[in-house]
Amino acid sequence: MLIHPGFDPVAVRIGPLAVHWYGLMYLLGFALFVWLGRRRLRHEPYRTLGWQPRDVEDMLFWGVLGVIVGGRLGYVLFYKPLDYLAQPWQIFAVWQGGMSFHGGLAGVLIALAIWARRQHRPWLQVMDFIAPCVPTGLAAGRIGNFINGELWGRVASPDLPWAMVFPAAGPLPRHPSQLYQFALEGLLLFALLWAYARTPRRTGEVSAAFLTGYGVLRFTAEFFREPDAHLGLLSLGLSMGQWLSLPMVVAGLALWIWARRRAEAT
């Protein structure tokens, strides 16, 4: 049985300034987005359409804005609406933690829709561009969760070779679900999407693959992740993360069908 190392969440201290590992993981995710985005410019149709490195940097700015605003509001609305209704000023205390991936995704969709409109570019074309560049950022975030010893997994059998005790969760061995999500939603999803997007696809198909792939992999990982204590398991024994992932799968499949029919019609 393994024991979580209990990393110091602060990576570097410079006088009163404390640089947290989780913040560094965010920065790593943003850097990977720029690096992969510049390589994505070599893919069709972006190479033919004359996309530039500056477009990648602009999308990062708008995407970060969407992640922060959408992620925070998503957490407020999906996970603790009554708590924040009673203390609405706490919505702005982002340094205390509390972000939702699904809310962050919605924020990115809206932010980049605005950017696409300003640049006179098709929104789905923009979404297809960024989709393969996102999973590495998700992977970095899950490593941050693991370092912080948070969002641990459900209780596991002591016979499981990689079962781990997270001191903050009590003495029982648990699944290191942060690492499961790192491997599934991060590395595996990236490898599949990047390979899929390297050849020209119908507009919307790469976005559809991301929505479906993430939804399925997140739904699967949630079986090993401890549900939020204040929510527990909801209807049908599913967690909030699973219920929020189901619409992603449905939307991805619907977008895939639409993209194919639209291409056939033209």
Binding residues: 142
Which of 41, 39, 64, 63 is CA-nearest to residue 52? 41
- Placement of tokens 């003495």 in the chain: 171
| 3-class DSSP state of 199 | coil
CA 58 to CA 56: how far, in whole Å? 5
Q: Is the peptide bond before 45 cis (omega within 30 degrees of 0)?
A: yes
Q: What angle do CA 128, 133, 137 make, to 5 degrees?
A: 140
Taking 3-state DSSP, the helix, strand and coil percentages for the chain, each rounded to the nearest 5, stand at 65, 5, 25
Beta strands in the chain (DSSP E): 2-3, 10-14, 17-20, 164-165, 173-174
Q: Which of 102, 101, 97, 115 minimizes the C-alpha distance to 51?
A: 115
Quote the crossing angle between the two packed helices 53-78 and 21-40, to the nearest 10°. 140
Q: Are 249 and 102 in contact (CB under 8 A)?
A: no
CB 139 within 8 A of CB 187: yes
